[in-house]
Amino acid sequence: MADQVRGTASAAEAQVRASAAAVGSLRQDVAAGRLRLDPVAGQEIQHMLAEQVDQVQNWLKRATDLGRRAPLGRNPVGQAVAAKLADHGTGDGDSFTGVLQQYRQVLEDTREAVEDAMRRSRADDERAEEEFRRIGQQL
């Protein structure tokens, strides 16, 4: 059972890492000017991301119970198993809460990338508007 939990957590951690890499590519595209985002669409995306971050925060609050040691007795084997199970729930890395914390960071990074894309889009629109005004004044 513990190996199955560890395997599932490792798979989830790998998915989160892949998402983080995708967000890194997104940020590069935004920085290079290859991606612009309409402010209205960006606000919708930011709203969805904020809802997901709130949900992850709720999961993390509820996950504190996973870190409690199961009452498996005072013998060395029971204590070792209880500690191992608690670590699967709330330890670092590929524990349940560790993966959730990594996922929350990916969501925050995505939100920042969306914000940057929206800011770039507004700046580009303002430059184009100013250029049209300048051309109009010359005519």
Instruction: Return the pLDDT at 81.
Output: 72
DSSP conformation class of 139: -
CA 86 vs. chain centroid, Å, equals: 24
Instruction: Return the pLDDT at 69.
Output: 67
- The yes-or-no verdict on residue 50 having pLDDT over 90 is yes
User: How long is the chain?
Assistant: 139
Give the pLDDT confidence of 9-38 residue by residue, as tens digits: 678 788 888 888 888 888 898 888 888 888
CA 49 vs. chain centroid, Å, equals: 9
Instruction: Return the pLDDT at 21.
Output: 87
Give the pLDDT confidence of 64-106 residue by residue, as tens digits: 766 666 676 677 776 777 666 665 555 555 577 888 889 999 9
- The yes-or-no verdict on residue 7 having pLDDT over 50 is yes
- The yes-or-no verdict on residue 5 having pLDDT over 80 is no
Give the number of domains in the chain: 1
Instruction: Return the pLDDT at 2.
Output: 47
- Residue 61's CB: how many other CB atoms inside 10 A? 9
Q: Can you give the residue range of the structural domain that contains 85?
A: 2-138
Instruction: Return the pLDDT at 88.
Output: 54
